């Protein structure tokens, strides 16, 4: 999955309207009432005629729906479990030690293999490739961060808004679009990059990419009376307040702007009363309850007035971190209320409401776990783990519900748990990590193994519920390893003469590529290993000629990067430098990075580099709790694949899953070939988009 999710975007802005617009609306409303009054009088005078017409049209609707309804001939089920980030190394050791009995059983009765991941091995790229069976050059998702070469602006790739409306992120067809054309029922639970939801023959709950109510990928709010510096906080808004027995704080909603360009957050006041030690009385929007220190509140509901009769409904949790000697209150990112989301987060739109009514309120944000709050020490490890457990249980209840209901078709369910726990707790298992604690509690040292066992328990439950003729596929999108050292790629480019700052005397360039002198810059980096040439005719201030000059420059940069060693660790930093033209092929190749870095074990592009900053130093120890990662050379971190059928395909990859599903459903060889799945060997990784058990294909 992702990091704590840097968000260079600014979120939603809803525009308020001038009073004269409201006046026109009143006139229109009054005229409508007069029209309705006359229509009502006519209907009253022709009751029998209206009733007969109404019954006739209802009859036509029912008959038409029955005639149009088509059903698939596929009478079995395909169940796909997406366990994000499972590592072959950790999993194989757990099976050998007898700690993962259900994975072991599936391996013995069916198949197990490492699964080649995508290049780059990032969650949005990987899950887009899983969904399409295609490489980024065809589906258009290259990294968490994307840039606009016309003005060098940066944005997240996880969502795409245009004129205030969400648009599809994946630019090619997903396998569920093919299956829906043949009327195969499908249920997709939290599949990444499915916001906005697609119309399918079945149901879809959107996953990674669904924003919070601010329009970001998760922004917490933190009120504290303890003096400090909030400049280091990336994932939240920190407010310093004066502690008193009665305090009025605010919940922050979407920004409301006007035609002059000014925008401010909609706010809901929250009254906090400190009556007893470790307790706080909370009042807002006619609600009253008491918070206890160190205890999560239940789901809280809030509505923000956006003007012109429009409201934004959200859900969130409070956490009273401390009352003495300082007051500290954490407010989780406010998520869409599944019963009334600001934008559709499911298909049909009523599906999220149905889930809430059946199972209770649940997290709707695409990345529901607030890793930055833990990174920035606003939330403790234990409280974070409580949040992780709650999200796990929510997803498990959804899987149980839909597995009971589905009689035939496809069910996909995504779990981010294993990915997140490895990101945040890998430091406890790596003795060479800068934050390793030799005497740390055993529960933290064994935590990753414990969560693999929880994934094993989910698998065991599913194995009990599937039928003999059902197909079960279990996969992870990539593996995992340690993240010890952060690499500042733009700093390397600067020190090697490929990038220049506007101020030649400065030692640091700010994020979002703000301080770069484009007239003297040949190459720059954004995201987690992407390097772009500042190319003429493509970038706004491009200086590198396309063709021979660009190819020569790419080769020169690649050779130098491959010789870069970390002298303090005596190890190679960059394992492989990939040419974008070789690993990205398709209609969207023109948007691809020119080079992509495959980092060696323990190294990863820095948070600063991801957003185009140019720090002073080249390398630094990773001192964040985010201590495990997968943003390195893809051939070092394959995922895993299990199936209850024998897989004969050698070196399976994520690209194989989509054609395999179509093959099971009875799609012909010709039909599958028309889907343009990838089938080439790229560098060291074998990406062969063909069914997993049909060698003659």
Predicted local distance difference test score (pLDDT) of residue 40: 66
The answer to whether 222 touches 329, Cβ cutoff 8 Å, is: yes
Predicted local distance difference test score (pLDDT) of residue 16: 58
Predicted confidence (pLDDT) per residue in 600-616, tens digit: 999 999 999 999 999 99
Q: Which two tokens stand for residue 188?
A: 């997709």
- For the chain, the structural domain boundaries read 83-176+639-688, 484-629
Predicted local distance difference test score (pLDDT) of residue 485: 98
Predicted local distance difference test score (pLDDT) of residue 650: 85
What is d(CA 660, CA 666) in angstroms, rounded to the nearest whole number? 10
The rounded Cα 38 to chain-centroid distance in angstroms is 52
Tell me how far apart the terminal alpha carbons of the chain are, to the nearest angstrom: 32
What is d(CA 421, CA 447) in angstroms, rounded to the nearest whole number? 8
CA torsion, ordered 513, 515, 521, 525, to nearest 10 deg: -30
Predicted local distance difference test score (pLDDT) of residue 646: 93
What is d(CA 99, CA 450) in angstroms, rounded to the nearest whole number? 9
Predicted local distance difference test score (pLDDT) of residue 73: 86
Q: How many CA atoms lie within 13 A of 518 on its CB side?
A: 17
**pLDDT mean values, one per 10 residues, the chain (697 residues):** 49 60 50 62 68 69 51 91 98 98 98 97 97 96 96 95 94 97 97 98 98 96 88 82 97 88 91 94 97 97 92 98 96 98 98 98 97 95 97 98 97 97 98 96 97 98 96 98 98 98 95 97 98 97 98 98 95 97 95 98 97 97 97 98 93 95 93 79 42 60
Predicted local distance difference test score (pLDDT) of residue 9: 55
For the entire predicted model, the pTM comes to 0.90
Pairing of strands 409-415, 77-83: parallel
Predicted local distance difference test score (pLDDT) of residue 301: 98
Q: Is the dihedral of CA 508, 512, 514, 519 positive or negative?
A: positive
**Buried-exposed string 47-61: b where 16+ CB fall within 10 A, e elsewhere:** eeeeeeeeeeeeeee
Predicted confidence (pLDDT) per residue in 438-458, tens digit: 999 999 999 999 999 999 999
Question: Which residues contact residue 630 at a Cβ distance below 8 angstroms, ignoring those fewer than 6 apart?
Answer: 85, 117, 121, 122, 478, 479, 480, 481, 637
Q: What are the contacts of 96-101 at 24+ separation with CB within 8 A?
A: 99/449, 99/452, 99/453, 99/456, 100/452, 100/453, 100/456, 101/456, 101/460
Predicted local distance difference test score (pLDDT) of residue 308: 81
Q: Which two tokens stand for residue 71?
A: 């059903």
What is d(CA 353, CA 344) in angstroms, rounded to the nearest whole number? 11
Pairing of strands 202-206, 346-347: antiparallel
Predicted local distance difference test score (pLDDT) of residue 11: 81
Question: Which residues contact residue 142 at a Cβ distance below 8 angstroms, ignoring those fewer than 6 apart?
Answer: 120, 125, 136, 157, 527, 530, 584, 591, 592, 593
Predicted local distance difference test score (pLDDT) of residue 17: 47
Question: Which residues contact residue 19 at a Cβ distance below 8 angstroms, ignoring those fewer than 6 apart?
Answer: none
Predicted local distance difference test score (pLDDT) of residue 249: 98
Predicted local distance difference test score (pLDDT) of residue 114: 97
Q: Is the dihedral of CA 197, 200, 204, 208 positive or negative?
A: negative
Total H helices, total E strands in the chain = 19, 36
Predicted local distance difference test score (pLDDT) of residue 263: 87
Predicted local distance difference test score (pLDDT) of residue 42: 63
Predicted local distance difference test score (pLDDT) of residue 30: 56
């Amino acid at each position: 999955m992702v990091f704590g999710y840097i968000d260079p975007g600014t979120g939603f802005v809803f525009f308020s309207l001038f009073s004269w617009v409201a006046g026109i609306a009143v006139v229109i409303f009054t005229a409508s009432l007069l029209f309705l009054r006359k229509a009502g009088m006519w209907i009253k005078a022709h009751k029998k005629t209206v009733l007969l017409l109404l019954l006739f049209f209802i009859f036509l609707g029912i008959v038409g729906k029955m005639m149009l309804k088509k059903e698939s001939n596929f009478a079995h089920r395909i169940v796909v479990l997406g366990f994000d980030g499972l590592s072959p190394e950790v999993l194989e050791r757990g099976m050998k030690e007898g700690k993962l009995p259900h994975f072991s059983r599936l391996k013995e009765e069916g198949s197990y293999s490492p699964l080649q991941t995508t290049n780059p091995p990032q969650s949005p790229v990987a899950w887009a490739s899983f969904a399409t069976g295609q490489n980024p050059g065809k589906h258009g998702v290259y990294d968490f961060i994307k840039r606009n070469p016309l003005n060098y602006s940066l944005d997240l790739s996880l969502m795409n808004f245009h004129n205030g409306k969400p648009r599809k992120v994946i630019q090619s067809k997903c396998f569920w679009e093919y299956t829906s054309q043949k009327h195969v029922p499908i249920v997709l639970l939290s599949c990444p990059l499915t916001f906005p939801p697609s119309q399918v023959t079945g149901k879809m709950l959107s996953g990674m990419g669904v924003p919070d109510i601010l329009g970001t990928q998760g922004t917490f709010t933190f009120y504290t009376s303890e003096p400090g510096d909030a400049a280091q906080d990336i994932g939240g808004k920190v407010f310093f307040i004066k502690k008193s027995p009665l305090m009025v704080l605010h919940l922050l909603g979407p920004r409301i702007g006007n035609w002059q360009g000014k925008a401010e957050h909609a706010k809901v006041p929250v009254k906090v009363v400190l009556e007893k030690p470790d307790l706080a009385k909370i009042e807002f929007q006619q609600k009253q309850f008491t918070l206890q220190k160190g205890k999560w509140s239940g789901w809280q509901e809030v509505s923000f007035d956006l003007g012109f009769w429009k409201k934004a409904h959200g859900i969130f949790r409070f956490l009273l971190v401390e009352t003495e000697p300082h007051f500290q209150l954490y407010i989780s990112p406010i998520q869409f209320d599944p019963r009334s989301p600001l934008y559709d987060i499911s298909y049909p739109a009523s599906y999220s409401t149905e889930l809430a009514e059946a199972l209770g309120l649940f997290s709707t944000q695409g990345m529901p776990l607030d890793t930055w709050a833990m990174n920035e020490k606003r939330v403790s490890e234990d409280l974070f783990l409580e949040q992780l457990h709650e999200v796990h249980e929510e997803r498990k209840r959804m899987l149980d519900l839909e597995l009971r209901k589905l009689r035939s078709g496809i069910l996909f369910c995504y779990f981010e748990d294993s990915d997140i726990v490895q990101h945040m707790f890998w430091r406890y298992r790596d003795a060479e990590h800068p934050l390793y604690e030799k005497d740390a509690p055993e529960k933290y040292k064994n935590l990753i193994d414990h969560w693999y066992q929880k994934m094993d328990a989910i698998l065991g439950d599913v194995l009990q519920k599937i039928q003999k003729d059902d197909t079960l596929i279990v996969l992870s999108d990539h593996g995992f390893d340690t993240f010890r050292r952060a690499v500042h790629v733009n700093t390397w480019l600067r020190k090697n003469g490929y990038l220049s700052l506007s101020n030649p005397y400065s030692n640091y360039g700010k994020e979002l590529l703000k301080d770069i002198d484009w007239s003297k810059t040949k190459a720059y980096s954004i995201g987690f290993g992407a390097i772009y040439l500042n190319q003429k005719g493509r970038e706004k201030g491009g200086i590198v000629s396309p063709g021979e000059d660009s190819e020569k420059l790419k080769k020169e940069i690649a050779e130098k990067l491959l010789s870069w060693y970390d002298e303090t660790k005596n190890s190679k930093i960059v394992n492989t430098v990939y040419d974008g033209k070789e690993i990205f092929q398709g209609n969207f190749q023109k948007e691809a990075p020119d080079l992509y870095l495959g980092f060696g074990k323990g190294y990863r592009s820095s948070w600063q580099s991801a957003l185009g900053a140019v720090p002073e130093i080249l390398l630094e120890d990773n001192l964040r709790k985010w201590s495990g990662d997968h943003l390195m050379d893809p051939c070092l971190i394959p995922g895993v694949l299990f199936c209850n059928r024998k897989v004969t395909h050698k070196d399976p990859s994520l690209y194989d899953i989509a054609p395999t599903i179509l093959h099971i459903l009875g799609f012909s060889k010709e039909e599958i070939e028309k889907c343009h799945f990838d089938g080439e060997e790229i560098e060291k990784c074998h990406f062969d988009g063909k069914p997993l058990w049909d060698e003659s294909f």
